[in-house]
Each structure stands twice: as C-alpha cells, then as structure tokens.
Amino acid sequence: MACFFPPTDFPALEGTCPKEIAAPFDFRELDPATGKYVTVSPERRREIGREASPITHAAMGAAPTLIIHGDKDKVVPLSQSETLIAKLMDCGATCELKVKPGKGHFGPWVAPDLPSLADWFDVHLLSKK
C-alpha cells in the first residue's frame, strides 16, 4: 500500500475535523420499523469508525506500507500516519513514513512524490512474482 496523508484512526479524528469534511462521519442506518435511514448514535458512529480504521487491522503480515504526509496538514493530522506506522512497525511489517516539512493536505507538492509510490510498488510487488 502506498498513499498520501490517510486518515487511519477515525475515532481519534472525532471532533477535530473541519466542518467541510465531517460528512464522511455522518453514518446512517436503515430503521426497519420506519423504512427510513436515520443518523446513528455517537456510540455506533465510533464503532463503525473503529471497524473502518486501518489501525484496527494493522497486524503481522500487513501489506508493505508507504505513507507520505505533510507536517502542516490541518485536515488529517500527521499523528494519524505516525500512529499507524508505529503499530505496523510493532507488528514487524515493512513500512515507511516520509514526512514533508511545511506541507499541508494535498497540493502541487504531491506530484514530485508520485514516482516514489510507483517505486514502492515495484520493490514490494514485482519481487513477489
């Protein structure tokens, strides 16, 4: 896996996301009694977030993981990547975090790093043939 600035622990983001990106956490479920979708409780939202969080599934045998993240990201804090990489390292997984000083969440700065993602896949997937 190789990616830029991923959210990795959704419950840890609760209350920290700007309003503009809060919609992905507005989970709804079908109420069988009414046949309508209703907003889930805060407890259920946290449960869904835990289930969907990559950090929940970090374990021995995880895919080799490269994350590139700006240290000035105001949308997804750098700590999201740091925490996942630390857990993957504890599990013995192959992983790397490249921190981009002064960079935020997305922008033209990602383009020069696209080849690093391709190189990561070449090293970790081509060798598996």
Work out the pLDDT band at 126, boundaries 50, 70, 90.
Answer: confident
Number of domains within the chain: 1
| Residue 11: CATH number of its domain | 3.40.50.1820
pLDDT for 92:
95
Rounded CA gap, 85 and 94, in Å? 9
User: What b/e readout covers 45-72, taking b as 16+ CB neighbours within 10 angstroms?
Assistant: beebbeeebbbeebeeebebbbbbbbee
Domain that holds residue 101: 2-128
* Residue 42 clears pLDDT 60, i.e. is over it: yes
